[in-house]
Every structure is written in structure tokens, then in C-alpha cells.
Homo-oligomer: A and B are copies of this chain.
Amino acid sequence: MKLETLANAIGAELQGDGQHAVSGVAPLERAGPRELAFLSNRKYLSLLAESQAGAVILSREDLPEDFRGNALLTRNPYAAYARAAQLLYPQHAPAPGIHHTVILDRDLQIPVSVRVDAHAVIGRDVILGERVWIGSGVSIGEGCRIGEDTRIHPNVVLYPGTRVGARCIIHAGAVLGADGFGFAPDAGRYLKIPQLGKLVLGDDVEVGANTTIDRGALDDTVIGDGVKIDNLVQIGHNVRIGAHTVIAGQTGIAGSTRIGQHCVLGGQVGVAGHIEITDGVIISGKSQVTRGIRQSGIYSSGDAARPNAEWRRQVARLHRLDDLFRRLEALEAGLGPKTADEADKLENKGTEN
């Protein structure tokens, strides 16, 4: 693809030889004359001078004055790279058709543009949009609806009634719409609460491999448009996630919690049930969120690993904080006039958690 064409397609300004053609992408340090690279972090500026790349996507501010290669200038190099890579590596639309081993109801009306791979099983009253691609071994329960251009990778399971929007990607092994975890304690045993809600995914949602998202108990579980969910994430029943929120691997969100739009949850985050997190909240990896968050911003908890001996000492000190406070108070009492009232106030500040 000529750089001229590429620049146009991704909305970048070309500086250099528009007739030069590239056919693939590669990292800055490995890219050859027929490959496109990108620079999205000034940290790697030193690699730019030596790069053999046929062209580099970068921002005008990062462009060195003496750069003599071909440059595609844009405000958002990473997004421009995403667009260029999508163009240079088009997903081959697979040949449509339903494999002869697929099991489906004979009354099902499936668009001719749909592809269903071997051994998939499709239940009654399922509605599939145009160009849906269902991988091998997938199970689609009764009454599910899947929007156009959505791709479901092998061995995914959709429980009955699950709705998936258009242009979604569901990675292998994900389980959508299984029963939420609801039990009523009764005389030392647990009674199962029937899980009667659905799971509804918006458009342009991506769900990672082996991720599980439960159906609602009474209301539905709802995942907004453009939400991106990584692998091995667990989302409980009745959770609602706003549009364009991103959730990294192994994060868990307990039942009935609401998360706003444009949030970012790092990996292994744990969010308690029945709380509300507003729009634009960023939770750093492995944090624990036990209360609602009303203000956008970055939230964190936890501490980084350190050499074991140092950590042991720190934990030991931590367990002696009570003692420390008491000793400090004794010192203060010996030194000046602190009223009982003041001491009391200080004491009560300690109950906030």
C-alpha cells in the first residue's frame, strides 16, 4: 500500500515519498523498508534515527528536525497505527456456510452470510445477524440473539436468552449468561435463587478468553457499547457497566454493582457488590474497591512486593501500630496539656474504614 493512500486512509499528514509502499507493520527496531512502524512514546526516540522502517507514524512534536525517513504525522500515533494495521492485515471474511456437523433447529432462519463452524450447537429461536461467525464447538442456548458481524470463537457457551450486540468479539472459552451466584441460607443449607434475568451485551464489545459474565437474578446484567474485557474476568449478576469502559485480566466485579462509562479497571482488581462507581474512574491493578466512588480520578490500594526480610519487618511494625499510637500518646500526655476531649477526638478518627 502506497504511503499516500495509507496517509489518506488513516487521516495522517505525509512527509516524505508518497509513492513508497509498505506491506506490513513491525517494531521500530526491526522494521525494514517495506514495513511501517510507530512511535507513541518519546522514550523510544533514540530508536528512530537508526530505524530502517519504510515509514514511521508519530506526532509532529516527536518528529526530529533531521529525520529523513518517511513520516506519517498525526496527533494520536497509536490510534493511527491501529487503523493502519487493520488496513494492512484485513481480517479475511471467511466463506459463509453452515458446517454439516452443526446441530440446529430446522425452523431456524439463518442469513446466508453467516458462517458456523463444525460441531457448534444452536438452540431454538436463536436470531443471528448478517455475517455472524460462530466457531467450532460453540453452544448457543435457546432464544439468544447475536448482532451482525459478531465473531464467536471456539468453545464459547451462551446460556439461553443471552443477547450480544453487533461487531462484538467473544474469545474462546468465554461463558456468557450462566446463573448468578445467588443462594438463600435456610437452616444451615443454601437454597438456590432462580436466576431469571438475562445478560445483554452492547455493540463493539470484546470479551476475553475464559471470561465469565453471569445473567441477572431478576433484572438483567448489562454491558455497555464498546466495553473491552480481558481474559478470565468475572462479572456477577445484575452488574451494569457503562459504555467504553475497559477491564483488564482476572478482575472480578461482584453482583449488582454499577460501573460508569469510560472507566479503566486494571488487572486483578476486586470490586465489591452493590456499589456504584461513577464515570471516568481509573482503578490501578490489584486494588480492592469496597465502597462506591463518586468522583472520577485514579484510585489504588495495596503495596508492591519487596525483599522478603524487609517485608516481614514492615508487617511486624504494622501489627504494632496500636502500640505505637499508645506510646506516642503517653509521650504527648507527659509533655503538654492535652485534654481528654482532644484525645477522644483523635481516637474517633480511627474508625473511618
- A contact residues vs B (CB 8 Å cutoff): 25-27, 76, 78-79, 81-83, 85-86, 89, 99, 101, 103, 117-119, 121, 135-137, 139, 153-155, 157, 159, 169, 171-173, 175, 178-179, 181, 183-186, 188-194, 196, 204, 206, 208-210, 212, 214, 218-219, 226, 228, 230-232, 234, 236, 244, 246, 248-250, 252, 254, 262, 267-268, 270, 272, 283-291, 297-308, 311-325, 327-328, 331-332, 334-336, 346, 349-353
Contact = CB atoms under 8 A, between A and B. Distances in A.
A351 B317 CA distance: 9
Contact of A328 (B79, B118, B318, B324): B324
Contacts of A283: 305
Contact of A172 (B27, B178, B206, B335): B178
A36 to B, nearest CB: 11
Contact of A307 (B188, B272, B298): B298
Given A186-B82, A234-B232, A252-B249, A301 B302 contact: yes
Contact of A352 (B179, B285, B300, B316): B316
Contacts of A318: 303, 314, 318, 321
A125 B312 CA distance: 52
User: Which of A208, A231, A284, A334 has the largest count of B CB atoms less than 10 A from its CB?
Assistant: A231
A252 B268 contact: yes
A154 B139 contact: yes
A308 B331 contact: no
A194 B86 contact: yes
B316 A327 contact: no
